[in-house]
């Protein structure tokens, strides 16, 4: 007997609305704003308009690469031409307008407005709703092209929704400041996209019933939105760390290392202390040290 989730969670209409809503223009513009801000704040002259004034084409090209990073990298995985995103003149025009007003508006008013906390939060939330659709579309495209390649399906959904960390390397190469990002591990957004992509793959493979699709999609969107809210309001956090720590302890040698460390500490505590080194006294080392001068003086007297 299947569980009727609509009876307990009557939000199917909300999910259907989210899936039918057109991402253009508001959701796409929110994505372009965040990517152009990332390029603007990543340039060598942080906080000044010097770079965009003197290197306009490099700034524009880096921003376009970031705006269409997911599609470019996703096309590379699916075997499609990498320049396909640049065929859509409407998207290029909108992204260019966003780049222009963020970099060249009088007194930097648009940039300051985009960085204003309530406005920036609203832009981020719109971006998270768009991210949900990108993960779903990426996984669906991967399943359609590679039905049995589950790893590729998840990877395509991941890069479609979060390709900017990879493309940032090439954007920095364009702006003449090539350096790897100083990141010790996957970001929280990357981990979230990975989890949601796996859930959508389970839905496509039949491991999750198809009648729960609306609830799964709404849950994924709510997960992205709540995670972004938590990071913005509470500061940097990683809700996946406890699960990673548990997996590392149980599956990847963490528990064995801890046990061996306890045994080493116990062995060191039970080992008897070593004998103290013998310190030379005046009667031994001192006499030996002074013996040669005394003998030399005696021989001199005899002469």
pLDDT of residue 303: 46
Does residue 183 lie in a domain region?
Answer: yes
pLDDT of residue 193: 96
Asked if residue 236 has pLDDT above 60, the reply is yes
How far CA 187 is from CA of 64, 132, 178, 195, 300, in Å, comes to 22, 17, 20, 13, 84
Q: Which residues contact 43 (CB under 8 A, 6 or more apart)?
A: 51, 52, 59, 175, 177
How large is the C-alpha radius of gyration of the chain? 32
Q: Which residue has the tokens 């590679």?
A: 146
Asked if residue 44 has pLDDT above 80, the reply is no
pLDDT of residue 265: 77
pLDDT of residue 284: 47
Asked if residue 92 has pLDDT above 90, the reply is yes
Does residue 123 lie in a domain region?
Answer: yes
Expressed in angstroms, the distance from the first to the final Cα of the chain is 121
Using pLDDT thresholds of 50, 70 and 90, give the confidence band for residue 15.
Answer: confident
Q: How far is the C-alpha of 36 from the C-alpha of 102, rounded, in Å?
A: 8
Using pLDDT thresholds of 50, 70 and 90, give the confidence band for residue 285.
Answer: very low
Q: Which residues contact 19 (CB under 8 A, 6 or more apart)?
A: 133, 214, 217
Share of the chain above pLDDT 70, in %: 80
pLDDT of residue 7: 55
Full domain range(s) for residue 197: 17-247
How many structural domains compose the chain?
Answer: 1
CB 65 within 8 A of CB 99: no
- 140 preceded by cis ω (within 30°)? no
pLDDT of residue 224: 97
Q: How far is the C-alpha of 260 from the C-alpha of 268, rounded, in Å?
A: 12
pLDDT of residue 272: 62
Average pLDDT, rounded, for the chain: 83
Q: How far is the C-alpha of 88 from the C-alpha of 24, rounded, in Å?
A: 13
pLDDT of residue 188: 92
Using pLDDT thresholds of 50, 70 and 90, give the confidence band for residue 269.
Answer: low
Does residue 272 lie in a domain region?
Answer: no
Does residue 151 lie in a domain region?
Answer: yes
pLDDT of residue 252: 82
pLDDT per residue as tens digits for the range 104-144: 999 889 999 999 999 999 999 999 999 999 999 999 999 99
pLDDT per residue as tens digits for the range 79-89: 899 999 999 99
Does residue 9 lie in a domain region?
Answer: no
pLDDT of residue 288: 45
Does residue 300 lie in a domain region?
Answer: no
Does residue 297 lie in a domain region?
Answer: no
Does residue 267 lie in a domain region?
Answer: no
């Amino acid at each position: 007997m299947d569980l009727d989730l609509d009876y307990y969670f009557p939000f199917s209409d909300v999910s259907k609305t989210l899936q039918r809503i057109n991402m253009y223009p508001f959701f796409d513009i929110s994505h372009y704003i965040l990517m152009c801000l990332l390029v603007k704040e990543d340039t060598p002259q942080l906080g000044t308009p010097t770079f965009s004034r003197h290197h306009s084409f490099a700034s524009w090209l880096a921003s376009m690469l970031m705006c269409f990073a997911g599609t470019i990298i996703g096309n590379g995985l699916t075997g499609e031409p990498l320049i396909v995103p640049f065929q859509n003149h409407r998207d290029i025009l909108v992204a260019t307008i966003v780049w222009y007003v963020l970099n060249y508006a009088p007194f930097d008013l648009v940039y300051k407005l985009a960085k204003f906390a309530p406005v920036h939060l609203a832009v981020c939330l719109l971006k998270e709703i768009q991210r949900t659709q990108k993960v779903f579309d990426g996984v669906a495209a991967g399943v359609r092209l590679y039905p049995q390649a589950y790893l590729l399906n998840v990877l395509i959904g991941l890069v479609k929704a979060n390709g900017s960390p990879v493309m940032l390397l090439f954007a920095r190469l364009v702006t003449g400041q090539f350096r790897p990002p100083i990141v010790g591990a996957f970001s929280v957004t990357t981990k979230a996209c990975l989890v949601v992509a796996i859930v959508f793959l389970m839905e496509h493979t039949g491991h999750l019933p198809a009648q729960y699709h609306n609830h799964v999609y709404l849950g994924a969107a709510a997960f992205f939105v709540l995670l972004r809210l938590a990071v913005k309001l509470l500061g940097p956090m990683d809700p996946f760390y406890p699960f990673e720590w548990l997996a590392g302890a149980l599956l990847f040698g963490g528990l064995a290392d801890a046990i061996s460390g306890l045994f080493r500490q116990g062995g060191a505590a039970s080992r008897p202390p070593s004998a103290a080194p013998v310190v030379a006294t005046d009667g031994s080392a001192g006499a030996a040290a002074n013996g040669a001068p005394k003998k030399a003086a005696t021989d001199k007297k005899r002469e």
